[in-house]
Amino acid sequence: MKTLRGIRGPLEQVMFQWMTAGRGIVHSEMPAPQGTQKGLRLWVNLSSKYIMIEPMYQEMPSKDIVEITEDGIKIRVIAGEAMGIKSPIYTRTPTVHHQHLAVNHHRTADSSPINIPYRRPHSSKSSPIIPSKPWHIIPSYLPWSLNPNVVLNSCEAYFGNGFTKVADILPAKVALRTGSSWFRCHHSETLRTSICEGGKIRMDPGKIEMSSGGEKLEDVIGRSEEEELPRFQDGAFVVEGNGGSKRRKLVGEGFLDEFIPVDDDDSGHPIRESIGSIVIVGANDFDCQEWVDEPTLLATRFEYANLFHTVTDWYSAYMSSRVTGLPNRPHLVFVDGHCQVHIDRFTKIFTGPVCFRHAIFSPLGNETPLSRGLGEKIDCHGVSALDLVQSPDIHKTARLSEFGEMIRSAFDLPVNRHRASKAALGHNVLFIRREDYFAHPRHEGTVEQRLRNEQEVFDSLSRWASDHVECKVNLINGSIAHMAMKEQARAIQDASVIIGAHGAGLTHLVSASPKTVLLEIVSKKFKRPHFQLIAQWKGLESHGIYLYGPYANPQIVITRLDRIISHLGC
């Protein structure tokens, strides 16, 4: 078999090939030189909305095809999912074996279900299903296959595809037969954390100690981290065991040390404590009046009013969703006592016990590469997904671009915008205004100011842009603190150059279009590589103007910007 994209391979060695034709590919197959050949070809209809996606090949050797046996039936999971086993082959059309054992309608007298299906949404009289939305199709997506051979500290391992060590604490196969709970954890040696998930899990807010949360930001200035982060009593989470009624802990300290280790100076780790609080009870002791049917992420936030830390939480949530193979976007529950800020949108607050048919414990945002990279060297450079497929390299990644495209698509913004389309209407130079604000509200409400003559710099750039005759330059006043999140994302998407003082607003680089250029103004006091790293991991060009104090020379900024615009062909 060969294609005009240079992909070739004999079928007797590959055994299985999955081709997504997309916008079109020239493809040929020739028989082996001798002997009788047997093969099976399956065609899966591709939705019309995917018809112009990039063509893609996926291959799987015979030895890697998972084979399972259940009730005398042998199943080889080539693509899709069956019996709780997922193939690493990515299919845009959901391919799922629906097992009859997964639907069990036994109920208690008050109509709450007691036998819960594995993974599959199931209606309940106690609460209606709120359908989750499907994932958007994006150009940079690559399959999230749990390949056990992911290289330690490689880009794939850092950016989330390295959760290869799995502990089945309560096996799903047993849960399918008995209607009990299931629970497992996926561990990453590179990120030194785990994503844990389970089915039929009860959460009791009465056993979670923290501030009430949801207040106005200005009402809680100076409140300590310890007050807002949750502390879990035993039984804060409950699962139903298979057989017996003895109450016991789900995992011990040894498991937690292995799967959710903490540094010696950590005073507390909410995710570790939440897993450590889970107890197993018998069927008679597992009852619930309220159910959440759709897959749900349980997340605890740090530095909640700061965009950088918020985006690390978003990345953790996205990574958790992909590693656990969710077919649709999950629901989200914040398990913390933080106040409400403008980037949150609450629809419900739980005050009593609630049960989840599928709950996922998302790692802390400071355990993602966005935060890890500030303290350890992550030698990764961003490339396109197509480049990575054609030339695999453990020091290259397309994951951050994938994440950024997912953010843009979530706001119904196009994800195929490139520099050529921008330049047709002139180059947008987005000046992200930092302004004076409470950067970290719990720090006693201290107002921070990184660039004291920001308005002077902006006014100088505005005059330069209006006098620029070689091509049209549009200077955009990026007062993002006064813009809706969708408008912030749109402004980032449309920018050819993003300029601003070092500050959390520059985190929007994660959703910048390809070929966008960063010009960061960095004062001596705040010289940290947050945004140069994001640009590097996305494959974007970045430049820095390093100051000795809090003031920037407007002419130096103009000179650097003029040089960048010239390199863009203007």
Higher pLDDT, 532 or 526: 532
Q: For residues 367 and 428, state if they share a domain.
A: no
Q: How many domains does the chain have?
A: 3
d(CA 27, CA 57): 11
Q: For residues 449 and 550, state if they share a domain.
A: yes
The predicted model gives 468-496 an average pLDDT of 90
Does residue 135 fall inside a structural domain? Answer: no
Q: For residues 95 and 170, state if they share a domain.
A: no
Q: Residue 212 has what pLDDT?
A: 83
Q: What is the CA radius of gyration of the chain?
A: 26
Higher pLDDT, 399 or 118: 399
Does residue 432 fall inside a structural domain? Answer: yes
d(CA 76, CA 329): 27
C-alpha angle 135-141-143 in degrees, rounded to nearest 5: 95
Neighbours of 446 (CB within 10 A): 12
Does residue 141 fall inside a structural domain? Answer: no
Is residue 92 within 8 Å of 47, Cβ to Cβ? yes
d(CA 263, CA 253): 15
Paired strand residues for 240: 281
- Give the residue among 358, 363, 362, 361 at the shortest CA–CA distance from 182: 358
The predicted model gives 234-249 an average pLDDT of 90
Q: Label residue 443 by pLDDT band (50, 70, 90).
A: low
Q: Is a pLDDT exceeding 90 seen at residue 199?
A: yes
Q: Label residue 151 by pLDDT band (50, 70, 90).
A: very high
Q: For residues 288 and 363, state if they share a domain.
A: yes
Q: Label residue 473 by pLDDT band (50, 70, 90).
A: very high
d(CA 241, CA 522): 55
- The percentage of the chain sitting over the pLDDT mark of 70, rounded to a whole number, equals 75
Is residue 400 within 8 Å of 378, Cβ to Cβ? no
> What CATH number corresponds to the domain at position 554?
3.40.50.2300
Q: Is a pLDDT exceeding 80 seen at residue 129?
A: no
d(CA 400, CA 156): 11
d(CA 299, CA 360): 9
Return the minimum-mean-pLDDT range out of 141-145, 212-216, 437-441, 459-463.
437-441
d(CA 414, CA 33): 48
Is residue 13 within 8 Å of 61, Cβ to Cβ? yes
Q: Residue 7 has what pLDDT?
A: 47
Q: Residue 30 has what pLDDT?
A: 61
Return the minimum-mean-pLDDT range out of 103-117, 135-149, 283-297.
103-117
Neighbours of 44 (CB within 10 A): 13
Does residue 27 fall inside a structural domain? Answer: yes
Is residue 384 within 8 Å of 514, Cβ to Cβ? yes
Q: Label residue 424 by pLDDT band (50, 70, 90).
A: low
The predicted model gives 84-96 an average pLDDT of 65
Paired strand residues for 172: none
Q: For residues 305 and 187, state if they share a domain.
A: yes
Which structure tokens are listed for 7? 């992909």
- Give the residue among 228, 115, 116, 250 at the shortest CA–CA distance from 170: 250
33: left (phi over 0), alpha (psi -120 to 50) or beta: alpha
Amino acid found at 468: H
pTM to 2 decimals? Answer: 0.78
Q: Residue 26 has what pLDDT?
A: 65
Final residue belonging to a domain, choices 337, 354, 373: 373
Q: Residue 101 has what pLDDT?
A: 30
Q: For residues 231 and 349, state if they share a domain.
A: yes
Q: For residues 239 and 303, state if they share a domain.
A: yes
pLDDT, tens digit, 9 for 90 and up, residues 269-297:
999 999 999 999 999 999 888 999 889 99
Q: For residues 368 and 453, state if they share a domain.
A: no
The predicted model gives 154-163 an average pLDDT of 94
The predicted model gives 340-362 an average pLDDT of 79
Final residue belonging to a domain, choices 350, 373, 396: 373
Angle between helices 530-538 and 399-410 (to 10 degrees): 100
The predicted model gives 471-480 an average pLDDT of 91
Higher pLDDT, 284 or 66: 284
Q: Residue 495 has what pLDDT?
A: 95
* DSSP string for 280-344: EE-GGG---S-EE-S-EEEE--SSTTSHHHHHHHHHHHHHHHHHTT-SBPPEEEE-S-PPB-TT-
Does residue 233 fall inside a structural domain? Answer: yes
Secondary structure of residue 381 in the 3-state scheme: strand
The predicted model gives 259-265 an average pLDDT of 82
Residues in the chain: 570
Domain that holds residue 76: 2-31+40-102
Does residue 443 fall inside a structural domain? Answer: yes
Distance spanning both ends of the chain, measured CA to CA: 45
d(CA 131, CA 328): 9
Q: Residue 347 has what pLDDT?
A: 57
Backbone angles phi, psi at 563, to 5 degrees: -65, -40
Q: Residue 537 has what pLDDT?
A: 97
- Give the residue among 362, 318, 559, 331 at the shortest CA–CA distance from 460: 559
C-alpha angle 304-310-312 in degrees, rounded to nearest 5: 130
Final residue belonging to a domain, choices 60, 78, 102: 102
Q: For residues 199 and 273, state if they share a domain.
A: yes
The predicted model gives 153-179 an average pLDDT of 92
Q: Label residue 438 by pLDDT band (50, 70, 90).
A: low
Q: Label residue 110 by pLDDT band (50, 70, 90).
A: very low
Does residue 243 fall inside a structural domain? Answer: yes
DSSP summary character for residue 513: P
Q: Label residue 340 by pLDDT band (50, 70, 90).
A: confident
Q: Residue 216 has what pLDDT?
A: 80
The predicted model gives 144-173 an average pLDDT of 90
Nearby residues of 340 by Cβ (< 8 Å), 6 or more positions away: 213, 214, 215, 216, 217, 346
Higher pLDDT, 387 or 10: 387
Does residue 44 fall inside a structural domain? Answer: yes
Q: For residues 224 and 280, state if they share a domain.
A: yes
Q: For residues 428 and 368, state if they share a domain.
A: no
Q: For residues 425 and 552, state if they share a domain.
A: yes
- Please provide the average confidence, as pLDDT, over all residues in the chain: 81
